[in-house]
Amino acid sequence: MTSSDTSPGGGPRPTRRDASIDILRGLALITITINHITGFTDRMHMVGMQFPTLTLWGFSSAAEVFFLLSGYLVGAVYFRVDRDPAIATFTDKLWRRTGKLYVYNLGLFLVLIPLALNSPDLARLSFYSYFIKGGPSTIVDFLILYIQPYCLEILVTYMVLLGTAPLFALLLRWQPIVALLVSAGLYWFAHEHAWFNVIGGSPVGDWRWNFNPASWQLVFFGAMAAGRYRLLARLERRAEGNWHWLVPPVLLFAGLTILFLAQSWFSFEVLYQSKIRIGPVRVAHALSVCWLIMSILWMWPRLQQLWPMRQCAVIGSNSLQTFVVSVALSYAAGFLWIEVWPNHDAYIALCIASVVLLGLFANGYKYWKATRPAG
């Protein structure tokens, strides 16, 4: 979040949302949409290059960026140090949002069932086959967050982190260093012990969650701490119009990109890049992506006013709703590709169409929010 410290009259000035955060989160949601479609087509052995996203050339995916920015906004919007809200108030707001997310997740699960029923391959790839074969009784497994279909597992981890954020907030208010050390310690233990994960998740493999909350909490809670102290606002003031601040993120991002590509050039594998346990290399790459893109937007603020950037900001400004719609679009695109048009040209067309539809929904939702009656 970005705001000026005081108004000309000396009183507090209302904060304004940092467009760079929404732009980056919108870019992440667009990437997630494309990557989810690719998840269907690749496992159906599509011939041809994947749609180009940063995921092709880096250790992290858009999910890490999404968790980082979401955590930051939780701290900046609900738990800023200069406002110092009561823990009870903070808890009430986050638990209400968690409940809303649970309802959205359930609605999304039900809406996607017809697609799975009409496409055995889609059902198999999305793990809906577990529920179809098991019958209505297996719905309980979804309701208690035991089994999640493809694309919905990220929502469940996000729910857990939102629901447990008040515990971290207690520590953060008491002693920030201790809070961060506890988070880092839990992260490292979960990273070094693969068994330390929630049972369930996808009904394949080791039957553990695909996004281990004990690991992913580090990026979410760490970003939440940064949001509490408005770290990005401080960085923006220093970086705006100062090209020297571009050098570190450019070097870090370029170095990690070269390291990633070198794995295929020289036939070796970099350690510590697990997605389930969000390895340190993935964390570093996600941070470099955020740092670089935001630094560019801060260095040249006019970029934020370009039409593509404004569209990304609209998509990112209501991330809960747009993420849910992005999953539905990914399933619809996967269904069409599998059942109607299984070739590379169709894949590219479906990716582009899904992004366009996501933007149309985001603009429509923004208009609806602006015109609906107050209260």
| pLDDT higher than 50, residue 12 | no
Q: What is the pLDDT of residue 6?
A: 33
Q: What is the pLDDT of residue 13?
A: 38
Query: What residues contact residue 25 under an 8 Å CB cut-off, 6+ apart?
Result: 65, 66, 69, 70, 315, 316, 317, 319
Give me the amino acid identity at 277: R
pTM: 0.91
Q: What is the pLDDT of residues 177-197, one digit of tens each?
A: 999 999 999 999 999 999 999
Vertex 293: Cα angle to 288 and 297 (nearest 5)? 145
Alpha-carbon span 365 to 355, nearest angstrom: 15
| pLDDT higher than 80, residue 2 | no
Q: What is the pLDDT of residues 29-52, one digit of tens each?
A: 999 999 999 999 999 999 889 998
- Segment among 204-213, 220-229, 256-265 with least mean pLDDT: 204-213
| Residue in this structure with the two tokens 């996501």, named with its chain if needed | 358
Higher pLDDT, 32 or 374: 32
pLDDT, averaged across the chain: 92
| Residue in this structure with the two tokens 């695109």, named with its chain if needed | 333
Q: What's the rounded mean pLDDT across residues 322-347?
A: 96
Q: Residue 17: which pLDDT band, with cuts at 50, 70 and 90?
A: low
Q: Find residue 147's DSSP bridge partners.
A: 201
- Percent of the chain whose predicted confidence (pLDDT) is above 70: 95
Q: Provide DSSP, 266-282.
A: HT---SS--TTTT-HHH
